[in-house]
Structure 1
Amino acid sequence: MPRKRSSKSADFYRQRQDIVNAALVVSTKCAPSMQNSIKKEKASWSEYCEMMGYDPDTELSEFRPQTIKGYLDWFVNEGSIKKLSTVRTKWKYLRLVYKDFKRELVDMSTSLEIKGYIETVLTSLHPLSLESTNRPVMDVSDMYALLHYLWALDTHVYPHERYRIQLHLAILLMAYTSSRPGAIVESSCYAGSNEGLTYRDFKLTLFPNPRPDEGDLITLEVTLRHLKGKRSIGEKKIYVMHERDDNPVFCPVLPFISLALADNAFKAQEVNADNVFNLGVPRDRRNSIQFEWKPSHLDIPVLRRTEATASGVGISPTMILPYSTLNDQFQQLEMLAGFRKALTMYTIRRGAGNAVNGIANSAERNQAMGHSRSEIFERHYISQTVKIDVQSAFLGSAPREELIQAVGRLSRDRDVWAPTKLTTTQKDSISNDPAVIYLKEQRDDLSVELRKTFGTITNGKRARSLIYDRYWQVTKSLAKEIGHLRYAKLQEVRDSFFDCINTAEIDIQLHDKKDVSLPSKGRDVVHELQDRNILTKLLFQSIPIEDGTDKRRRLRSDVARSFQTLCSSCEVQFSNRRSTHGVLVLRIARAKLSVY
């Protein structure tokens, strides 16, 4: 078929050619955070060149190895750099600055020369550590410990109880998709975008059970659209999840259905926690039944942030939960649950990657992890603990796989009695810090000056005075300094606890110190909200197949109902009831049992 004759003139396309050429972008699109990093690196390069009397653009255009070497040496000297990996990262960003400036890659000879310089000469001139960064991996036992504490033992009060369910679901989604957090909630790199998983990205479907007497099964398909490096090209990945009867706390369907019920998102008006698990697929004419969402809910984020309402704290109807908030909640949960270090949610992604690595080939693993090549996983994700029982393999005996896995877990040093907050005495010591005293004196002097000039601080604010601006800056600096000092002090106290606790426990057992009267390690926590107490009992029980389908359905309905109720609940603030066991054992360790 002949091509349709153009209806536009040659002059039109000549003008279009100018527009196209003007809009041409050579460099690939990158995240705002990467753009900021490149901008900072260029500023650092300009600072060095101006100090040396060079023109930054000329030196960047020529990109001579001798200038680059001097720049990296200056960076290590001025920045008190301790690790070789930091210099490698610096060189990576400098190459990106060159690429952005020249619209071409650094030539191979320069790259090899600078790489050799970093690995040999620079490391001989500076005491740079060659130790690689430890990248912890969270496995299913670690995740169980976190979720058990979250529901059974946690007395921390969230602004809204829906946060607890959202944290639970987010942990499961990260584990079952091996995704980056920014694909689930609003990425810190795209702050303010309100991008993340919405109801449009979830497909809830009922499928016939291969065993008809056990009831049909609900699957949850999750479509990830906001993938690293793929946002601008529309690439997506779909993961399939399903119900679990062996341990409801690991079931992603239950918390998701509960959130959907709380949001009234189902198009079928009469769906509720009591009947959603009793539905079936008509096998004579259908292979599945999909639960559809109301059109008004398709673009509503599932995991959302709180907002102030007339009646108190509520859940925003449209604003997604940012990663910074979710990660803060996750790290706080780790600390309260007794983990030694509060690590980021990336530990879950690494754990999922290591689990997939054991059952999939490299191509399948790369697809699940979103990696362009296998080298990325092998360098940055694989567990540093060898998961093979080499001793048993050499001896020809049965492998002790469970023991080997236990050694590599994050929870191996876990102790729920580790201190989680500072004592009054420890807080007072921070108030006496010289930097804090100096800032307090500055703030108080400015406060006196404001009152003397304007009558009140509020009047000074209304007048938009320079004194008030200075007062406000000092007040913020004081709060920031106190926050940093308290965080550092808490880490010091916790490290001291974990450094002493093992020897203290051994000494107690060897000395048979029964008069110490340590509390039993099991503790029952009664929660203010009754549904928390119900979930504590239901989430961690397994119903055998022989007990029947009805019992398993009732369990799922009861869990979903309690989840849904909590989605509209807030707990009254109360003090954190912590055991004093950790303080007592630490005191024993420090005194070396001499007082007993």
Structure 2
Amino acid sequence: MSTAIARHPLAHAPPEHHLDFLQRFTAKERERVVKPASLSAEEHARNRKQLRVVRFVKPKYSVETKINVTGIFRKWTRYCTDNRIGDWKATIQNLARETTMDFFLFVCGNYKVKSWGTSEEYMRQFQQLYTTVTGRYMDRNDSKEVYKYHHNVLVPRFGLRAPNVDGKPVLNVDSLRVILTFNIAYDASTFALERHRIQLAGCYQILCYTGARPAELVDGQRKNPKDGSIEELFGSKVVQSTDGEKELDGATDEASHQLAELLAQETTKRGRPKALCYEDIFMMIVRHPATGNSVPVMAIKFINHKGADNKPKPTIFFFTPTRKLIFCPIMVLIALALHDHAFDAQSLTNASRVFETKVWGPTQSTPLRWKESMLKVPVFRRVHGTTLSADEAMLYSKLNYDMGRQSLDSGHEKPWTPRFARRGAANAVNGDAPDTVRDQMMRHDPRFATFYSAYLNEIARFDIQNAFLEEEKQNELFRMFAHVSLTRDPRAVRDMVPDEVWANTPPDPEILVLEEKRATLKQGRYRIDGHEDEEDIRKLTNEIRTKRAERERRIVKGYREYYFYHRPTWDVEAQARGEVEEEYEEPAIDLVVPERARLAEIFCCQPRSWTEEEISQHRIEAIDLMVALCDKKETGKNSRTRLRAQVGQFIKQESPELCASSEPEPGVSPWGPAQIIGAGQA
């Protein structure tokens, strides 16, 4: 290879690059937004005349706020209809304090409100609805009286609990290691494509390293209601007097019509999904200032934070290669980019080519550009069937469900949410960096001290006892106390209800009543097509199915809580009886897809003795394995089917011979033999 130094900046440029530049420049010139034409003196006069009748300019709400307001709007219209109060708009325009109080009594009694934090949020949304419709802010004295009525009457009447009574769990590096290891090595659940597993690892890492909200990575947008309520409430930017509305409705000439459109709500589009896209990621090779070696680094610019529509606070985070490969987000992003063929350089087809790239010339970095067609494509995308979507971001609901499921299956007491990671990042930075850096990372306004009210770990991370006694502080113990891994039991799984519980669970009286109604309507007939009560029968069937699924979820959740509460007592009593502790063995990695098995071996069995060269070689191998794994699918394993016997005269029972022949062997947790002990056995 030639080592000659190119002193001219265009030495390596293609011969026809100037034509490519001119073509791109011409295309951008055509895309320039044309500024609207200025108004004439007559048009300005007509505009002033129209603005004279404008009583109130509506606040600029975000899309999420508008959806929230339409939610309380539907509750308000139902309240007016059910209680025969009258037209909803006339009622809110002449709103009385007693009507507001009675409305929230209706809301707490007819909707699923468990915390007074939820009811207070409804009250704030109702104030926004009132302002949007009437063009006035709610009277401050009336608002205070409504809040006092809420605290003194509604909270005790409905037993509303205080918010955040369940604590504020926080993740740390040990928690991240557990879920990353479980995700790649022990998760027995299957995905439509194994790329989703790689995407989950990337999401977990970035959430913990940046404190970003999940909607900055994946699609967290809710759909607009289909009843036209958004158009009804926010179709106009202003609230006008009655005479002004008639005047605008009577505008017939084209100029007046154009001026009226200035006051109409316009739809703005982003031109890209509201999620992490390739244009937000800056991948590059830099020259290390100490060693002079070329190393890959990555920067991510987060722009879709909460409130970005009105107060944008773009924040850039840099990432460097980690020595522990399982923690490296750069590897995940490079693997996804290689799988998407997103690099602009055609020679970057595998991990070796990426890591062999050097920094040439007097520059300090060589950016790895993306193809222009990939700039607005989400990095973490959803899967339809067995096909990866070309431009649809992964749904927040999918990320939240998989994170909760994997955390429970890996033995944690409570399901995780992305907020656990955000709290973990904030508490990791707190004290280690200035408050200004922490607030910048969290996108918080320093004036409101949001971190201390919403994100500060409720566990005091300091050995105050030994500090007072002037003795050696137990820092390692307090590091363990402050995070969710303290109560983890790797033998526990998400659904660990014994068969004896399902077999002896009494029937639900509500379900029995519904089944009796259905049996009466069916009149002994099995098929209901063409039945005179077919619609009612199908409605009852759906309601029975929903209630049965809800009850099963409550049993699964309740037994897990029962196990985690009573298992320590069972262990104490067993020790008192002189029983011998059963040795816990780490589970073996048993995977079908060879790429995933090898990847799990590299990530989970990395020794501390690896040299930098060995780490680099395994880093390249791991990226190539992830690229190959993206198109694979793990085969389903035979999971233990539980005998969920439903006691009731309308439940069909299998024959004893069939039940005896089809009873499966007891299953084993992916983290080792689960010690499921019944109360009598303890």
Decide which of 60, 63, 71 is 1:40's aligned counterpart. 71
Change in CA separation of 1:169 and 1:541 when aligned onto 2, cut-off 3 Å: same
Which runs of no fewer than 5 residues in structure 2 stay unpaired?
1-36, 226-271, 640-666
C-alpha displacement at 1:367, in angstroms?
2.2
The corresponding residue for 1:315 is: 388
Decide which of 599, 606, 619 is 1:556's aligned counterpart. 619
CA distance in 2, matches of 1:332, 1:523: 19
C-alpha displacement at 1:493, in angstroms?
1.7
CA distance in 1, matches of 2:607, 2:357: 20
Change in CA separation of 1:190 and 1:230 when aligned onto 2, cut-off 3 Å: farther
Q: Is the 8 A contact 2:511 2:548 kept in 1?
A: yes
The corresponding residue for 1:457 is: none
Instruction: Please identify which structure carries the higher helix content.
Output: 1
Q: Does 1:418 align with 2:492?
A: yes
C-alpha displacement at 1:557, in angstroms?
0.4
Query: What is the RMSD computed on CA atoms of the aligned residues?
Result: 3.5
CA distance in 1, matches of 2:328, 2:587: 26
CA distance in 2, matches of 1:224, 1:468: 52
The corresponding residue for 2:592 is: 528
Change in CA separation of 1:129 and 1:266 when aligned onto 2, cut-off 3 Å: closer
The one-character-per-residue Cα deviations of 1:538-568 (angstroms, maximum 9, x if unpaired) are: 2246676x96442221021011111111111
SS at match of 1:212: coil
The corresponding residue for 1:155 is: 188
The corresponding residue for 2:358 is: 280
Q: Does 1:142 align with 2:232?
A: no
Q: Is the 8 A contact 2:599 2:622 kept in 1?
A: yes
SS at match of 2:624: helix
C-alpha displacement at 1:184, in angstroms?
0.8
Q: Give the aligned residue type for 2:406.
A: L
Change in CA separation of 1:439 and 1:252 when aligned onto 2, cut-off 3 Å: same
The corresponding residue for 2:424 is: 351
Change in CA separation of 1:304 and 1:122 when aligned onto 2, cut-off 3 Å: closer
Q: Is the 8 A contact 1:430 1:485 kept in 2?
A: no
Q: Does 1:508 align with 2:608?
A: no
SS at match of 1:231: coil
> TM-score w.r.t. structure 1 length?
0.84
CA distance in 2, matches of 1:19, 1:138: 56
Change in CA separation of 1:259 and 1:441 when aligned onto 2, cut-off 3 Å: farther
Q: Does 1:591 align with 2:654?
A: no
The corresponding residue for 1:243 is: 321
C-alpha displacement at 1:330, in angstroms?
0.7
C-alpha displacement at 1:130, in angstroms?
4.5
SS at match of 1:520: coil
Decide which of 284, 293, 298 is 2:370's aligned counterpart. 293
Out of 177-186 and 153-162, give the one that drifted further: 153-162
Change in CA separation of 1:52 and 1:318 when aligned onto 2, cut-off 3 Å: closer
The one-character-per-residue Cα deviations of 1:1-44 (angstroms, maximum 9, x if unpaired) are: xxxxx975323344556788999851222234x33432332344
Q: Give the aligned residue type for 1:253.
A: I
SS at match of 1:586: coil
Q: Does 1:182 align with 2:211?
A: no
The one-character-per-residue Cα deviations of 1:266-319 (angstroms, maximum 9, x if unpaired) are: 11122211232232212x4211101111122222211111123xxxx2322222
Q: Is the 8 A contact 1:354 1:381 kept in 2?
A: yes
CA distance in 1, matches of 2:380, 2:276: 8
Q: Is the 8 A contact 1:188 1:324 kept in 2?
A: no
The one-character-per-residue Cα deviations of 1:194-217 (angstroms, maximum 9, x if unpaired) are: 43111111110111112326x322
Q: Give the aligned residue type for 2:427.
A: N
Change in CA separation of 1:205 and 1:447 when aligned onto 2, cut-off 3 Å: farther
Q: Does 1:196 align with 2:275?
A: yes
Q: Give the aligned residue type for 1:586.
A: I
Q: Is the 8 A contact 2:528 2:534 kept in 1?
A: no
Change in CA separation of 1:115 and 1:435 when aligned onto 2, cut-off 3 Å: closer
The corresponding residue for 1:459 is: none
Out of 90-99 and 292-301, give the one that drifted further: 90-99
Q: Is the 8 A contact 1:418 1:582 kept in 2?
A: no
SS at match of 2:353: coil
The corresponding residue for 1:479 is: 545
The corresponding residue for 2:636 is: 573
- Aligned runs of 1:433-452 on 2, under 5 Å? 433-437=508-512, 451=527
Instruction: Number of aligned residue pairs: give it.
Output: 565
Which runs of no fewer than 5 residues in structure 1 stay unpaired?
1-5, 455-464
- Aligned runs of 1:103-142 on 2, under 5 Å? 103-120=135-152, 128-130=160-162, 132-133=164-165, 134-142=167-175
Q: Is the 8 A contact 1:504 1:585 kept in 2?
A: no
CA distance in 2, matches of 1:509, 1:427: 29
CA distance in 2, matches of 1:21, 1:439: 61
The one-character-per-residue Cα deviations of 1:372-428 (angstroms, maximum 9, x if unpaired) are: 343322222211111122112212233322211312211211112224335556556
CA distance in 1, matches of 2:395, 2:61: 23
Between the two proteins, what is the percent identity of the paired residues? 22
C-alpha displacement at 1:115, in angstroms?
3.9
CA distance in 1, matches of 2:597, 2:295: 27
- Aligned runs of 1:200-239 on 2, under 5 Å? 200-212=279-291, 215-231=293-309, 236-239=314-317
CA distance in 1, matches of 2:499, 2:606: 44
The corresponding residue for 1:490 is: 556
Change in CA separation of 1:367 and 1:25 when aligned onto 2, cut-off 3 Å: farther
Out of 548-557 and 469-478, give the one that drifted further: 469-478
> TM-score w.r.t. structure 2 length?
0.74
SS at match of 1:386: coil
C-alpha displacement at 1:591, in angstroms?
2.1
The corresponding residue for 1:387 is: 461
CA distance in 1, matches of 2:112, 2:218: 35
Compare CA radii of gyration and give the structure with the larger one: 2
Q: Is the 8 A contact 1:505 1:585 kept in 2?
A: no
- Aligned runs of 1:336-375 on 2, under 5 Å? 336-372=409-445, 373-375=447-449
CA distance in 1, matches of 2:51, 2:397: 39
Change in CA separation of 1:73 and 1:524 when aligned onto 2, cut-off 3 Å: same
CA distance in 2, matches of 1:52, 1:453: 39
Out of 80-89 and 492-501, give the one that drifted further: 80-89
CA distance in 1, matches of 2:346, 2:499: 54
The corresponding residue for 2:333 is: 256
Change in CA separation of 1:275 and 1:111 when aligned onto 2, cut-off 3 Å: same
Change in CA separation of 1:466 and 1:232 when aligned onto 2, cut-off 3 Å: farther
The corresponding residue for 2:131 is: 99
Change in CA separation of 1:40 and 1:568 when aligned onto 2, cut-off 3 Å: closer
Change in CA separation of 1:332 and 1:450 when aligned onto 2, cut-off 3 Å: same
Change in CA separation of 1:171 and 1:508 when aligned onto 2, cut-off 3 Å: same
C-alpha displacement at 1:239, in angstroms?
1.7
Q: Is the 8 A contact 1:206 1:216 kept in 2?
A: yes
Q: Give the aligned residue type for 2:450.
A: I
